Structure 1
Amino acid sequence: MTGGTAFLWLLGLAGVEALDWRTALRGGLALMFVLTGVVHFLPSWHRDFVAMIPPTLPYPSLLVTVTGALELVGAAALLFPPTARFAAIGLALLLLAMFPANVSAARRGVSLAGKPATPLPARTAMQVVFVGAAVLAAV
């Protein structure tokens, strides 16, 4: 997210008129959500994401598929000015709704792509940044 946002913001500073800070932020978020949304559908990642879902929730595979689809739709909607504000709010809410899976993964020692889940303090800080960026993109 930060790399894509920074790149777009620098293009705006270089004179690309359509790229103000908010548009750059939305573009960076869209890039992040496209990447994270696509991996929901890759078989090995899908299995890892299913393992992250708290055991008390039903249909974990369906939940992973739905959240991946919502991330992709939200990413596209961020790039369309009439829907960008609603998409940013929706994605902030989606991040909050998915956070329990990150907590569950950290507490249960679930691995993602063969690596341990991000430790909870770092994941919480990242989540605050991502939700904050989505809220900021909505204003």
Structure 2
Amino acid sequence: MDLRANITHLTPVARGLVGAYVVSGVIHLVKPQVFEGIVPKQLPRRRELVYVSGVAELACAAGMLTPRTREVAGVASAALLVAVFPANVEMARQAHSRITRRGSTPQREVQRALSVARLPLQWPLIRSSVAIARGGRG
């Protein structure tokens, strides 16, 4: 497999998604506590869910790099992005709540701004995943 050709075949958004999945997937497995706090409280076995989502991210990244598995990986990636959206909403909610409870600081304001800005960014990532699934470059 020519990894360089497989990566350059993807659009910059898709390459960014693959890179983000690799970095995030590794962090999910090495430091799961980073993500446990944003798993919605209604869900049981939060640590296990963090591990599962980390493995899923790594699998999606690998699958998108391989032409034979790109279609399935694109569908899985879109589904994963939808599945983890509640955790992203929870992260934004918690960032806002910290400011409400403890007051505003530059760091808290930046955290809130980034977590809120991240929410609409899911849409182009989902669209890129669907494009990859349809045989496109993402």
Same fold (TM over 0.5): yes
Alignment correspondent of 2:126: 131
Q: Is the 8 A contact 2:40 2:87 kept in 1?
A: yes
Is contact 1:86–1:138 with CA below 8 Å preserved after alignment? yes
TM-score (norm 2): 0.73
Question: RCO (CA 8 Å, sep 6+): is it higher in 1 or 2?
Answer: 2
- For residue 22 of structure 2, what is the amino acid of its counterpart? V
Query: Conserved in 2, the CA contact under 8 Å of 1:74 and 1:91?
Result: yes
How many residue pairs get matched? 117
| Aligned-partner Cα distance in 1 for 2:22–2:36 | 19
Q: Secondary structure at the match of 1:94?
A: helix
Give the % identical residues: 33
1:29 and 1:84 mapped to 2: Cα distance? 13
Contact residue 91 and residue 115 of structure 2 kept, 8 A: no
CA separation of 1:101 and 1:87: change in aligned 2, threshold 3 A: same
Unaligned runs of 5+ in 2: 99-107
- Bigger proportion of residues as helix: 2
Per the alignment, residue 36 of structure 1 pairs with 24
Distance 1:116 1:55 in 2: 21
User: Could you say what secondary structure the match of 1:75 adopts?
Assistant: helix
2:111 to 104, 108, 116: 116
When the two structures are superposed, what TM-score results if normalisation uses the length of structure 1?
A: 0.72
**CA RMSD between the two structures:** 2.5
